[in-house]
């Protein structure tokens, strides 16, 4: 990452290239609902779309980490795939503790390694392990477009 910054490269594209990830959404943080329960950080982040995502909104559920990303109510990424927020300009990570109103962010989806997507592993790291009724659907299964969504998930 330091090399990318030093050469004025695109840090988000570099991150996607290294991880096999893709940009799921880009926008401005509109609301952060965060509360502490049982010693964990719970809540959600609402993001208003910009660029290709103008007119859409994303909601990201969190429990110490970002777990589920929904765009216009449709789930597009779910744990154990990694949902990550990065600063849109510098590509620096934004944690659940640091996310706040007004930040301009890119939401990245990074596929989980195969070991975390087995039926046995999903009992411990899948959405149901965090109390969600969602079924795990691999990020890679979503393909290049998020089922016709105007701002498709795309590689960086």
- Choose from 6-10, 21-25, 148-152 the range with maximum mean pLDDT: 21-25
Cα 127 to Cα 74: distance, rounded to the nearest angstrom = 15
DSSP secondary structure letter of residue 154: B
In tens, the pLDDT along 63-100 reads: 999 999 999 999 999 999 999 999 999 999 999 999 99
Give pLDDT, residue 38. 86
Give pLDDT, residue 35. 93
Give domain status of residue 20, yes or no. Answer: yes
φ, ψ of residue 134 to 5 degrees: the values are -60, 145
In tens, the pLDDT along 117-153 reads: 999 999 999 999 999 999 999 986 554 434 334 444 4
Give pLDDT, residue 139. 85
In tens, the pLDDT along 47-63 reads: 999 999 999 999 999 99
The two counts, helices (H) then strands (E), for the chain are 3, 8
| Total domains in the fold of the chain | 1
CATH code of the domain covering residue 124: 2.40.390.10
Give domain status of residue 87, yes or no. Answer: yes
Give domain status of residue 144, yes or no. Answer: no
**What range defines the domain where residue 38 resides?**
2-134
Chain-centre distance of CA 53, in angstroms?
Answer: 14
Give domain status of residue 42, yes or no. Answer: yes
Cα 40 to Cα 34: distance, rounded to the nearest angstrom = 10
């Amino acid at each position: 990452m330091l090399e990318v910054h030093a050469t004025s490269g695109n840090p988000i594209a570099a991150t996607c290239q290294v991880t096999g990830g893709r940009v799921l959404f880009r926008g401005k943080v509109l609301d952060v609902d965060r509360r502490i329960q049982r010693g964990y950080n719970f809540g959600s982040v609402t993001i208003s779309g910009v660029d290709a995502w103008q007119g859409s909104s994303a909601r990201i559920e969190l429990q110490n980490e970002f777990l589920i990303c929904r765009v216009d109510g449709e789930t597009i990424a779910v744990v154990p795939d990694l949902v990550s927020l990065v600063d849109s300009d510098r590509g620096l990570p934004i944690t659940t503790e640091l996310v706040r109103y007004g930040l301009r962010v890119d939401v990245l989806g990074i596929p989980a390694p195969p070991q975390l997507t087995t039926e046995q592993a999903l009992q411990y790291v899948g959405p149901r392990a965090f109390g969600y009724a969602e079924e795990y659907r691999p990020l890679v299964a979503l393909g290049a477009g998020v089922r016709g969504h105007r701002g498709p998930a795309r590689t960086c």
